[in-house]
Amino acid sequence: MRATEPSVVPPEAALPVLGTPTIKRRLAVMVYEFFLLFAVEMLAVLIYILATGNRQDAIFQHGLKVYLFMVTGLYFTWCWRDSGQTLAMKTWRIKVVQPGHARLPWRTAIVRYLLAWGWFAPALVVCAVFGLHARGEIAIALAVGIVLWALTAFFDKERQFLHDRLAGTRLIALPRLKRVAARR
């Protein structure tokens, strides 16, 4: 039987932090994340197509959407749970944490993932309700939704996005590691 994880942060995890990363830096992470996620999802689509024999029935089309939602969720929640960082977050030295926890609990990671859909879900609902199908219309709806969600950080005293505030998590900026010269 495995012992439960301590709920306090160990001393080595209490590294000095630079505070909350800038919104510009967090948006840059999101752009980088988009490209990484695109690759992950293309592999997932290939696996789905091979598994279903590329069937085009409506049930398989909806199944693909659910499958991609699950793959995306697994990617983010596993990364957040494992190290608190996706590859893009590691590159930009940003980490998601929950005060009082050494690692993000699964439940918190899942809640954060679902709440993060607030970046896109309202725009997708608007598109569905108003019958917007043109690429330009969808792009405008998504852009407005993303800008509005990004603005939520300006109303938060710690500059956290709404989904982090609601999930009880926060993004922190990690310090730049000093490189030690190799001794000969």
Close Cβ partners of 89 (under 8 Å, ≥ 6 residues apart): 29, 33, 79, 95, 96
Residue type, 155: F
pLDDT for 17? 46
User: How high does pLDDT run on average in the chain?
Assistant: 89
Residue 15 reports pLDDT greater than 50 = no
Contact at 8 Å (CB) between 52 and 60? yes
pLDDT for 7? 53
Task: Report the predicted TM-score, pTM, of the whole model to 2 decimal places.
Answer: 0.83
Residue 144 reports pLDDT greater than 60 = yes
Residue 13 reports pLDDT greater than 90 = no
Residue 56 reports pLDDT greater than 70 = yes
Which tens digits make up the pLDDT trace of 104-133?
999 999 999 999 999 999 999 999 999 999
pLDDT for 21? 94
pLDDT for 133? 92
Residue 143 CB neighbour total at 10 angstroms: 11
